[in-house]
Amino acid sequence: MMTDFVRVADLSQIAQGAALKVMVNNRPVAVVNTKEGVFAVSDICSHADVSLAEGEVVDCTIECWLHGSQFDLRTGMPLSPPAIARVDTYEVRLVDEGASTQVEICTEPQPWTAEERPSA
């Protein structure tokens, strides 16, 4: 199966410690630039229907501005309540184009493990 990536931003558009909301396959995605690297997660908090890109970035986490849930940017797992469900994560690649670095995101979220999948 071929994995498709889409170019979403120039890295210079996303300050370190900040997030940018982009659309990938009609889904909102938060692209986050941290000291540890660039990450992409679903932009919608799993607890409330609000944008995570508007929240605070600390180390390798992003905090929902509405109720304070924090999510690990590497795994999408919630680190604090009230959220109990993971948010989707997306593979990111950086493409060096000489004078600029482009951020590309996989068009499909990374698969969940059996433990992460919500029960029906």
pLDDT for 114: 66
pLDDT for 3: 78
Q: How confident is the model at residue 98 (pLDDT cuts 50, 70, 90)?
A: confident
Least confident of 32-36, 74-78, 105-109, 110-114: 110-114
Judge contact between 59 and 35, C-beta under 8 A.
yes
Q: How confident is the model at residue 120 (pLDDT cuts 50, 70, 90)?
A: very low
Higher-confidence residue of 42 and 113: namely: 42
Predicted TM-score (pTM) of this structure: 0.91
- Give the mean pLDDT of 61-76: 97
Beta strands in the chain, from DSSP E residues, in sequence order? 5-10, 18-24, 27-34, 37-42, 57-58, 61-63, 70-72, 89-90, 92-96, 101-106
Domain map of the chain by residue range?
5-106
Q: Does domain 5-106 have CATH number 2.102.10.10?
A: yes
